[in-house]
Chain A
Amino acid sequence: MTERGTSTALSYVLTLSIATLLVSGLLFAGSTFVEDSREQVIRQELQVIGEHLASNVEQVERYANATDIVRSASIEQTFPSRVTGSTYDVTLSGGGGDPRLYLNATKPAVSVRIDLDSSSRIRNNADAYADGGTIAIRCEGGGSDDCGGIVIENV
């Protein structure tokens, strides 16, 4: 009867191993699922913020085109400073005549590109930059009260 304990020890080790395996699998799957979902949500949120900013850029462009003399034109909009816990920045790029907005989240690294309508007011080789938060799209003087270029900046 005193040797029956061998079976109990083996059973204990087996139970422990299987439980550890199952729990590790569950934790791994769970954390991967959360991380994937987070990345997807960050991508969607950057996309939405980018579309809003693109709309503001195009509206400022309309302001500039409406008359010959523009003394000032700007649109500000407040966005969350973090997307799903990650900081991000926005770059308005001339793209060599093919203007784009790039939104980059830092951790996890997610990048979104929004194409804008071709515009001569977004300078070809200039990159203007802003962090998350309140972001302004503004006309920058090109001399004689004209809207020489459109820039993005934090307020």
Chain B
Amino acid sequence: MADLRPRDERGQILLIAAFTLAVIFVALALVVNSAIFTENLASQGEVAGSSEALTYQHQVRQSVTEAMAYANRYRYSNPTSSVQASVDALSEQGAHQQATGGQLVHVGYEGSRSGWRIADNTSGGSTFENESVPVSDQNWQLAESVDRTRDLEITITDESVLSGTKASAFTLEANESTSEIWELRLWSTGGEVVVDVETASGRSGECRVPTGSPVEIDVTRGLVDGQRCHALTRNGTGGDRMWWGTGVSSPYDIWIKNGDQIRGNYSMILRGGSHTGDGLVDGPDSGDDPFRTDAMYSATVEYLFRTSQVTYETEIEVAPGETP
């Protein structure tokens, strides 16, 4: 009763245990490997090119904005061909630049909506009167039956001309009827210029900037001297809309009232409508009267951005300085 089995048949348990442990270690190695791969995956950023698609789209929008501004100012007789040529050049240059990063980009001119521009850019500024209106030259209709307005800018060059009271202040008005009136009033308290807005639904607000020439009011973008003015954007904690023309149905008329109570320049681009009265000079004019030219209101360009992982194809409508 010494050995139950021959010596060379002993140790099976240890052998099985060793083999199973080996399998467990291999499985553990697989798990650790997966954990390392997970860390690697977690450290990867976003898909290559996915942000560039939006960044470059923004650049295209900016470039077309500049091309339109140039065409409306200097190529007003045929802004379409000027913008089209700019877009073609942009597409070619952009394609070369982006190709170095492995991105395929195409920008193409699709079409545009025509409009017209009214401006008074008298050097040093002038009052906003219209010498040719027979009845009352400080209250006059600038445009009739306008569908949309963009890039409406007023620059005050001499604040001493501004009225000291709200009642007699310079007023820019968008109205559809006697009940739907949006008003912007500008007056001075001596130390501050007050920008006062009242919407068609009766909501009002004001913002003030310290006196110091010139004061630039970008009405449709809601900026005064480059700063956001809540009276031209959203007011109060509830965020009521105050933007240009809020509550006024389209088409609407644009009026200037108390035009003698301000001195400066103004400019705007309109879609639809006309000027039926006297006083607007055709073509650019540096005289005291405002002038009108043809203009491009908005342009549409197609935009294609493609990488091996990202596809983005869209149409971009560019109408800079429109209210949101």
Residues of chain A at the chain B interface (Cβ within 8 Å): 5-6, 8-9, 12, 16, 19-20, 23, 26-27, 30-31, 33-34, 37-38, 41-42, 44-45, 48-49, 51-52, 55-56, 59, 62-63, 66-77, 79-80, 83-85, 145
Q: Are A52 and B24 in contact (CB under 8 A)?
A: no
* Contact for B41 among A5, A16, A52, A63, CB less than 8 A: A52
Instruction: Point out the residue from A8, A33, A44, A62 that lies within 8 Å of B38, measured CB to CB.
Output: A44
Q: Which residues of B contact A49 (CB under 8 A)?
A: 41
Say whether B31 contacts A34, CB under 8 Å: yes
| Neighbouring B residues of A66 by C-beta, 8 Å | 54, 57, 314
**B→A interface (CB under 8 Å):** 1-2, 4, 13-14, 16-17, 20-21, 24, 27-28, 30-31, 34-35, 37-38, 41-42, 44, 46-47, 50-51, 53-54, 57, 309-317
Q: Which of B4, B24, B310, B315 is close to A34, meaning CB atoms less than 8 Å apart?
A: B24
Main secondary structure of the interface of A (DSSP, over half): helix
Bound together, the chains give a CA A45 to CA B317 distance in angstroms of 42
Considering the chains assembled together, what is the distance between the CA atoms of A9 and B5 in angstroms?
11
Q: Would you call B4 and A27 a contact (CB within 8 A)? A: no
A45 and B309 contacting across the interface, CB-CB below 8 Å: no
Q: In the complex, are the beta carbons of B31 and A72 less than 8 A apart?
A: no
**CB atoms of B314 and A44 under 8 A apart:** no
Contact B53 A34 (CB under 8 A): no
- Contact yes or no, A75 B309, CB < 8 A: yes
Query: Cα distance A2–B307 when bound, in Å?
Result: 88
Establish whether residues B1 and A8, one from each chain, have CB atoms under 8 Å apart when the complex forms. Answer: yes
Which residues of chain B come closer than 8 Å to A8, judged between CB atoms?
A: 1-2
Asked if A5 and B1 make an inter-chain contact with CB atoms under 8 angstroms apart, the answer reads: yes
Closest Cβ of chain A to B159, distance in Å, is 40
Q: Which of B21, B34, B42, B47 lies at the interface centre, i.e. has the most chain A CB atoms within 10 A of its CB?
A: B34
Contacts A9-B1, A34-B28, A84-B31 known; 14 new A-B pairs at CB < 8 A = A5-B1, A27-B20, A45-B38, A48-B41, A59-B50, A63-B314, A66-B57, A67-B314, A67-B316, A73-B312, A73-B314, A75-B47, A76-B310, A84-B34
CB nearest to B34 among chain A residues: A84
Q: Among A31, A63, A68, which residue has its beta carbon within 8 angstroms of that of B53? A: A63
Please state if B4 and A12 are interface contacts (CB–CB under 8 Å): yes
The 7 closest A-B CB pairs, nearest first, are A5-B1, A69-B315, A84-B34, A23-B17, A71-B313, A30-B24, A45-B38
Contacts of A16 in B (CB 8 A): 13
- Docked CA distance A55–B41 (Å): 14
25 A-B pairs in the complex with CB atoms less than 8 angstroms apart: A23-B14, A26-B17, A27-B24, A30-B20, A34-B27, A34-B31, A37-B28, A37-B31, A41-B31, A45-B37, A55-B46, A56-B47, A59-B51, A63-B53, A63-B314, A67-B57, A67-B315, A70-B314, A71-B314, A73-B313, A76-B309, A76-B310, A77-B309, A79-B41, A83-B34
A86 to nearest B CB, angstroms?
10
Cβ-neighbour of B13 out of A19, A42, A70 (below 8 A): A19
Interface centre among A8, A16, A67, A79 (most CB of B within 10 A): A67
A12–B265 Cα distance when bound, in Å, is: 110
B27 contacts A38, C-beta separation under 8 Å: yes
Asked if B313 and A72 sit within 8 Å, CB to CB, the answer is: yes
Contacts of B21 in A (CB 8 A): 26-27, 30
CB neighbours (8 Å) of A51 from chain B are: 42
Give B206 Cβ to nearest chain A Cβ, in Å: 33
Per the bound structure, the CA–CA distance linking A85 and B66 in Å amounts to 56
User: How far is it, in angstroms, between the C-alpha of A12 and the C-alpha of B13 when the chains are bound?
Assistant: 13
Give the complex CA separation of A92 and B5 in angstroms: 64
| Distance of B322 from chain A, by nearest CB (Å) | 13
Are B312 and A63 neighbours in the complex by a CB distance under 8 Å?
yes
**What are the residues of chain A within 8 A of B57 when measuring CB–CB?**
66-67
Q: Which residues of B contact A74 (CB under 8 A)?
A: 310-312
Within the assembled complex, what's the spacing in Å between the Cα atoms of A76 and B47? 8
Do A75 and B28 contact each other (CB < 8 Å), given the known contacts A23-B13, A27-B21, A45-B34? no
